[in-house]
Amino acid sequence: MLSGNVIAITSGKGGVGKSTVSVNLAIALSRMGKNVALIDLDIYGFSVPKIMNLENRPKTFNGKIIPVESHGVKVMSMGFLIKNNEPVVWRGPMLGKMVEHFSKDVMWGELDYILLDMPPGTGDVALDMHHFIPESKEIIVTTPHQTATHVAERAGTMALKAKHEVLGVVENMSFFQPRDSDKQYYLFGKGGGADLADALHTSLLAQLPIEELDEETETGGIYEEGSSLYRHFDQLAEKVDSLIK
């Protein structure tokens, strides 16, 4: 059974980097010495195992699932339960059962934070999460583009209607800054994250730049020490932790 501070990482639409934010925030919280779980609830579009380069599958003990652990984070995903990247073809009721399964049938142990990588939008999984985990708080991820923030506002509004606290907005892909240059390029426009935070009466927690992965030191979508995004995620984790206390 889940016990700890539950934070749902949500977005209005796909392609805004929600899962990468979820993974790197979870790892940054772990670096702070927190006991952290990451549950990939994007049942149809799961990507956490790929981002974290996980090949191990969870084991079972006395009918309970032992989550996979990586970078100090306990992880569960639909991706562990299927073979060869097969698609998940389920209707709504099955999605709800998986939300309940991950929350009740996994040996999580004592946790400080449980991060939920939610599917985009306001569909069945979001509704079931609100039902099974009513104490969840939420972070809304968007890009600066006005279309993305317009759609993300719906996810935030749904959270507020469910009486979930919105901790804030993370603006991803805010700008691109070439290495060894002070020049910033706003590829997706400017100001969308701040506008969304104002619309939801919350704060803008972070503006994360686009950063090229260093192929020699980084795999998947995990940013290692020395990169700009590593520092950004440390700052985001500290800010989230301060909001929870």
Of 38, 37, 9, which is closest to residue 120 (Cα–Cα)? 9
In sequence order, what DSSP letters do the residues of 123-137 get, joined into one string? SHHHHHHHHH-TT-E
Residues whose CB is less than 8 angstroms from the CB of residue 234 and which lie 6 or more positions away in sequence, other chains included: 28, 31
At how many degrees (to 10) do helices 92-104 and 124-132 cross?
40
Query: How many other C-beta atoms are found inside a 10 Å radius of the C-beta of residue 82?
Result: 12
Q: Which residues pair with 116 in a beta bridge?
A: 8, 39
**pLDDT for the residue 214:** 63
- Higher-pLDDT residue of 30 and 218 is 30
What are the residue ranges spanned by the domains of the chain? 5-244
pLDDT in tens, 205-240: 999 999 876 655 555 689 988 889 999 999 999 999
Strand blocks (E) in the chain: 5-10, 36-40, 59-61, 64-66, 68-70, 73-77, 113-117, 137-142, 166-171, 204-207
Residues whose CB is less than 8 angstroms from the CB of residue 69 and which lie 6 or more positions away in sequence, other chains included: 75
pLDDT in tens, 116-147: 998 876 555 666 665 666 678 999 999 999 99
**pLDDT for the residue 90:** 47
Alpha carbon distances (Å) from 179 to 24, 113, 211, 214, 218: 21, 33, 9, 11, 16
pLDDT in tens, 53-80: 898 888 888 888 899 999 999 999 888 8
Query: 5-244 is classed in which CATH architecture?
Result: 3-Layer(aba) Sandwich (3.40)
The torsion angle over the Cα atoms of residues 80, 30, 9 and 187, rounded to 10 degrees, is -100
